[in-house]
Amino acid sequence: MNQKELKEFLDEKVIQYNNQDFIESDPVQIPHLFTQKEDIEIAGFLSASIAWGNRKMIIKNSHKMMELMGNTPYDFVMTHSEDDLARLETFVHRTFNGKDFGGFIKGLQHIYKNHNGLEAVFAKNQEKDSLQKSISEFKKIFFEINHLPRTQKHISDPLNNSAAKRINMYLRWMVRQDTKGVDLGIWKTISPAVLSCPLDVHSGNVARKLGILKRKQNDAKALLELDTKLRKMDAQDPVKYDFALFGLGVFEGF
């Protein structure tokens, strides 16, 4: 395929997968449970943070997270007691355990109490064509408070050459203005143009087969290469192509 044909093919796939049907099999359904901005942000952040492995298990455990917080995530973050955190210790998703969950609650409380919330932190350090510095600075702020060293591994740092798939996916949910109702688009201080594709095994393999990614590792360098190509196809909404790449990989075995 030449560039024009490739863009047309991927645009068709975006239309095929970027619709309401996508929600029922994806963890994006978790923030959709809520209406208050802070509830949406926190529910999205926590569910995106455990989004690796089996998708059904991710969704099941994300619902469990919400239940452990009484289905009021913002209120829980801001008013929890030590007894409340102790109840979280039963939680486990792969290597993310109840202690990590409690650490995330404390980190989120710090973000809302002392840094004006998640949107403000990510918006503050954005660059003209990237949010990767924002993610790195967010991680520093999130772990300013006392925390277990093990918990740090659950937030990636793009400046350490990570593709930071989960947090880029979260930012897509929060920022992208999606007329199809999949991404929530509740953050208005960040442009969708600066978002990065959530690069994982599926999207990476499809991108390589289509010739829009040459680098073999799924790391920050590969992400920059992929983002550069996707921005040439749509400078204003490059990560819409995540739906095409992911859909081709997961649903079509491309």
- What is the SS3 string spanning the chain? CCHHHHHHHHHHHHHHHCCHHHHCCCHHHCHHHCCCHHHHHHHHHHHHHCCCCCHHHHHHHHHHHHHHCCCCHHHHHHHCCHHHHHHHHHCEECCEEHHHHHHHHHHHHHHHHHCCCHHHHHHHCCECCECHHHHHHHHHHHCCCCCCHHHHHHCCCHHHCECCHHHHHHHHHHHCCCCCCCCCCCCCCCCHHHCCCCCCHHHHHHHHHCCCCCCCCCEHHHHHHHHHHHHHHCCCCHHHHHHHHHHHHHCCCC
Q: pLDDT higher for 76 or 53? A: 76
Domain that holds residue 133: 3-252
Q: Does position 1 have pLDDT exceeding 90, yes or no?
A: no
Confidence at 118, pLDDT banded by 50, 70, 90: very high
Tell which residue, 176, 142, 149, 164, has the closest CA to residue 223: 164
Distance from CA of residue 206 to its chain's centroid? 19
At 254 the pLDDT is 84
The CA distance from 162 to 217, in Å, is 10
Structurally, the chain folds into a number of domains equal to: 1
**pLDDT tens digits, residue range 82-101?**
999 999 999 999 999 999 99
Query: What percent of the chain stands above pLDDT 90?
Result: 94
**pLDDT tens digits, residue range 124-152?**
999 988 999 999 999 999 999 999 999 99
Model confidence, pTM: 0.96
**pLDDT tens digits, residue range 227-236?**
999 999 999 9
